[in-house]
């Protein structure tokens, strides 16, 4: 039997978060068996494997119901949190191989005595969408330019390309409706893995809210999407909505789903240039473990 542990990642004040099934001992599992776990639970799932070489501590694989993913931020954080709780980490810095490249995990003991996890992401790349692509995105979301903030729509990426859609305010953001088939079609046309509409809550406190409509995960919306939040941070930096310093950027997500979550992103700089970011947030155990 394979033990599946479920954690809620990116919780907000101890509630919400994105549920993540994790298998800590996945060495004997086939890709088909891993995908079956994701299909059974209906969420991004993480699978911990032995390192591929001596320069790594672990190798992680990730599946959603419809396919394998190269990288999943909240699943990486959730798996590291469980490994830390099980006493299976050799030190505070962990090197993880993923299909999108190496990720470094940082583990600290928090004020409550539990592990606090952050993971590295490379510096983001940001490009503006052309007019035809903007029109396609607006059409699939059922909006027009009056619903948007005065900023460009952009594709941004740290590990996976996300399309940043600046909404006029949180009310406009939370009125959006998802159409899975239409989202998949437009994302494929514009080279994106998901639409990430967002709104400014409090610029002075670096507080933002967002929603994620994934391209082809097998469900219409995510409660919390770390990789998208990391991409958003670099889009916000590019547009001057956050200053060029290392303060924590707070991204709320999942409100419409009744599962409000909070993601933290901290951009690092050397000589005034962004060199990457740390992605983190709270983790809570979900009720019970499962065997498959």
What is the per-residue pLDDT across 72-131, written as a single tens digit (0 to 9) for each?
A: 999 999 999 999 999 999 999 999 999 989 999 999 987 777 899 999 999 999 999 999
Spatial contact of 208 and 200, defined as CB atoms under 8 Å apart? yes
CA distances from 282 to 14, 117, 240, 285 (A): 8, 8, 27, 10
**CATH code given to domain 125-265:** 3.10.310.10
**292 against 12, higher pLDDT:** 12
Q: Which among 245, 202, 207, 284 has a CA at the least distance from the CA of 18?
A: 284
Spatial contact of 84 and 107, defined as CB atoms under 8 Å apart? yes
DSSP class of residue 112?
T
- Which range (23-32, 49-58, 104-113, 183-192) has the least confidence? 104-113
Q: Is the pLDDT of residue 291 over 80?
A: no
Q: Is the pLDDT of residue 136 over 60?
A: yes
Q: Which pLDDT does position 289 carry in this prediction?
A: 59
Give, for 250, the enclosing helix (H) or strand (E).
strand 248-253
Spatial contact of 96 and 77, defined as CB atoms under 8 Å apart? no
For 3-123+282-291, which CATH class? alpha beta
Band the pLDDT of 218: cuts 50, 70, 90: confident
| Stretch(es) of the chain classified as CATH 3.10.310.10 | 3-123+282-291, 125-265
Band the pLDDT of 286: cuts 50, 70, 90: confident
Report d(CA 213, CA 180) in Å as an integer.
8
Helix axis angle, 226-238 to 73-85, nearest 10°: 120
pTM: predicted TM-score of the whole model, two decimal places: 0.92
Average pLDDT on 147-167 reads: 97
Report d(CA 74, CA 223) in Å as an integer.
11
Average pLDDT on 204-226 reads: 93
Q: Which pLDDT does position 39 carry in this prediction?
A: 95
Report d(CA 50, CA 25) in Å as an integer.
9
Average pLDDT on 151-177 reads: 97
Q: How far is CA 273 from the centre of its chain?
A: 23
pLDDT tens, residue by residue, 37-82: 999 999 999 999 999 888 899 999 999 998 999 999 999 999 999 9
């Amino acid at each position: 039997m394979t033990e599946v542990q479920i954690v809620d990642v990116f919780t907000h004040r101890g509630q919400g978060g994105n549920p993540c099934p994790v298998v800590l001992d996945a060495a004997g599992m086939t890709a088909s068996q891993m995908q079956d776990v994701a299909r059974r639970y209906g969420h991004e799932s993480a699978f911990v494997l032995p390192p591929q070489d001596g320069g790594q501590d672990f190798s992680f694989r990730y599946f959603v119901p419809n396919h394998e993913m190269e990288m999943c931020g909240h699943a990486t954080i959730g798996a590291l949190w469980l490994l830390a709780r099980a006493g299976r980490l050799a030190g505070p810095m962990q090197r993880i191989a993923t299909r999108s490249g190496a990720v470094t995990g940082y583990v600290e003991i928090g004020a409550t005595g539990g592990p606090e996890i952050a993971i590295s992401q490379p510096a983001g790349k940001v490009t503006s969408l052309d007019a035809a692509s903007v029109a396609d995105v607006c059409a699939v979301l059922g909006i027009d330019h009056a619903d948007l903030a005065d900023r460009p729509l952009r594709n941004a990426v740290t590990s996976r390309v996300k399309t940043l859609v600046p909404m006029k305010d949180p009310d406009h953001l939370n009125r959006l409706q998802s159409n899975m088939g239409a989202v998949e079609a437009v994302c494929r046309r514009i080279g994106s893995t998901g639409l990430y509409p967002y709104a400014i809550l409090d610029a002075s406190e670096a507080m933002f809210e967002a929603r994620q409509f994934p391209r082809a995960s097998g469900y219409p919306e995510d409660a919390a999407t770390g990789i998208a939040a990391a991409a958003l941070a670099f889009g916000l930096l590019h547009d001057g909505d956050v200053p060029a310093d290392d303060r924590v950027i707070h991204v709320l997500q999942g409100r419409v789903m009744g599962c409000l979550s909070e993601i933290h992103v901290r951009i690092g700089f050397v000589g005034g240039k962004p060199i990457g970011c740390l992605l983190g947030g709270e983790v809570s155990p979900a009720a019970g473990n499962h065997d498959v």
